[in-house]
Structure formats: C-alpha cells, structure tokens
Amino acid sequence: MDGQTSLGAFLQARRSRLRPADIGLDTYGERRRVQGLRREELALLAGVSASYYARLEQGHAHNASPEVLDAIAGALRLDEVERRHLHDLAGAAVRRRPARRPPPERLDPATRTLLDSMPDVPAVVTGRRTDILAWNPLGHALIAGHLDPHAPDRPADRPNMASLMFLDAHTRDLYATWEDKARAVVASLRHAAGRHPGDALLAALVGELSMRSPEFASMWADHRVRQCTVAEHRMRHPLVGVLTVTQQGLRISDDQTLIVATAPDGSEARTALRLLAQATAGATADAEGGGAAVAAGPGR
C-alpha cells in the first residue's frame, strides 16, 4: 500500500464518479473518452494547474499543502471522512515509512466491563484491521455462533470481520443484505489503511483477501471510505430465523469500535433477540454445569 500510489488511485477513483452534469458543465452532446470528469476539469474546479493535478494523480508530485488538498476535496465533493482520508494518504506519500508488524491490539479492561454490563444487547469490539477483539455471549451467538466463543481472547486466533464477510460461508448466508454489509466493512478497512499505511498486518490482510475474493478486490478498487456508523441489516439466523436489526458502530478509541445490534420494542426482531439470549444463557449454564461435574468427578 504505497502512499503515493494509493493517493493517485483514490483521486482517480473519485474523479471518475463525478459527471459534468454534477458540476453544471454542459458538454453539448460531446462524446467523452473518459469516465467522469477530465483531469483539467477537476483541476479548474480546485483552482490548481492541470499539470500539477496530473502529476499528483500519477504519483510524481509531493508535499501538497493542506490548502490544496482541501481545494481538491471540495472539487471532488468529499465528505469529512473522505477529506481526512485524502490528507492521510498525502501524508503517507511524503513519509514513506517501511511496513512494520505492530503488536497485538489490547482490549481496555473498562471495555470488557462495558460488554459484561450489557448482556441483553449483542455487542462486538473490533480493532483497526476489523479483528474481533471481544464479544459478549449474545454478540457471539448473533454473528458467529459457529466459532469458538473464546477465540477473541487469543490474539493468534482472533476472527477477522473482513475475512468472515468474504471467506466464511456461514457469515455470507447470515446477512440477507450481504453486499451492503460487505461494502461497509471494506470502506472501514480503507479508512484504516489510510491512517496506518505502515501496518504490515493490514497490508497482508488486504493482499490475502484481494487474492482469494474477486468481490473483495472489486470493492477495494472502488476506494470508498467510511467509518462504522449506523445501518439496518436483515439477517437469517439459523436458530431464531429472519430478523432485521440496526447495527451501530461506536468509536471507543482511535482504532477500536463497539458494534451493537438493536431492534425496536415490540418488534419481531426484539423477540428473536430475547429468544437467542435465552438459548445462549441456557447453553452457557449447561457448559458450566458440565464443567463442574467433570471437575468433581475425580474426587468421588
């Protein structure tokens, strides 16, 4: 994920989405060879020279000032998250730090306490690379009941949300709105890549998914950037059937997000979540009871 290459690719992708009509430009029926705006048209909107903007897209221009980047962001009609991403990419292009392997992400004890305090709400904590750092029992049961519930406690075995979305059959079947959820996960990963261009594990994850999933590769090339916010998803759960929940991503640190799933009072989805909570509590009690029996066995 070379910074200059990423910057140019992002600019090209966003420029291709703008149409002349979007900026009030009348083409008088002209047949255009490029998708979206031409470089010189975008440069004119941003108030920079066409040659400088071309060099920026081609990876030959460095040290773009914050004012120039903001002007380009305005011309591209970027939102605030996308504008910050543009600045991150430009900064990475200048720094060009070698990729490094960061230490495992840690869960703050206060976050663990928060998860334990909300047993009736499915909750999951993800890190910068969408690794699942923790979940409460109901969160585990809702999104990944087929996985080891203790896997997030072991850094080497942590499930990864992006990998689950694209490579895990259970997760693909779980989301009736799979494409919407998958695009949101990729956009969140793009945001992280802009903020952490030297993260070797993040680069390796993107490389693996790009090779193993053509769908991921296509979505990654789209250069959409988004932080986890709020979205409604229809799910087909193997235990409680079809339910529609609202998933909210709440930032609890620079790199960690608390994702909760909720449903309105009186809705069928709320009833389904209650049934799932009861099933989860029963399974946990059975497991603990079995463990106690086994522990007591040798003493008899």
Greatest extent of the chain over all pairs of C-alpha atoms, in Å: 92
**Predicted local distance difference test score (pLDDT) of residue 117:** 93
CB atoms closer than 10 angstroms to residue 157? 11
pLDDT of residue 114: 93
Q: Quick one: pLDDT at residue 10?
A: 86
Domains and CATH numbers, the chain: 3-95 (1.10.260.40), 109-284 (3.30.450.180)
Amino acid code (one letter) for 55: R
Distance CA 11, CA 102 (A): 28
Alpha-carbon separation of residue 29 from 34, 41, 131, 265 (angstroms): 14, 17, 49, 54
pLDDT tens digits, one per residue of 101-125: 778 899 999 999 999 999 999 999 9
Please state the rounded mean pLDDT for residues 38-56: 87
Q: What number is the average pLDDT over the span 7-29? A: 75
pLDDT tens-digit map of 215-259? 999 999 888 887 767 899 999 999 999 999 999 999 998 889 999
Structure tokens at 273: 């979540």
The residue with greater pLDDT, 213 or 83, is: 213
Give the length of the chain: 300
Give the pTM.
0.79
- Separation CA 240–CA 183 (nearest Å): 26
Calculate what percentage of the chain has a pLDDT beyond 90. Answer: 48
Contacts of 236 by beta carbon, 8 Å cutoff, 6+ apart? 173, 174, 175, 176, 242
Q: Which residue has the higher pLDDT, 97 or 110?
A: 110
Question: Which one, of 241, 122, 224, 249, lies nearest residue 176 by Cα?
Answer: 241
CA angle 56, 58, 60 (to 5 degrees): 65
Answer yes or no: are the C-beta atoms of 137 and 284 closer than 8 Å: yes
SS3 sequence of the chain: CCHHHHHHHHHHHHHHHCCHHHHCCCCCCCCCCCCCCCHHHHHHHHCCCHHHHHHHHHCCCCCCCHHHHHHHHHHHCCCHHHHHHHHHHHHHHHHCCCCECCCCCCCCHHHHHHHHCCCCCCEEEECCCCEEEEECHHHHHHHHCCCCCCHHHCHHHCCEHHHHHHHCHHHHHHECCHHHHHHHHHHHHHHHHHHCCCEHHHHHHHHHHHHHCHHHHHHHHCCCCCCCCEEEEEEEECCCEEEEEEEEEEECCCCCEEEEEECCCCCHHHHHHHHHHHHHHHHHHHHHHHHHHHHHHHHC
CB 258 within 8 A of CB 125: yes
Token reading at 217:
């590769």
pLDDT, tens digit (0-9, with 9 covering 90-100), for 130-178: 999 999 999 999 999 999 999 999 999 999 999 999 999 999 999 999 9
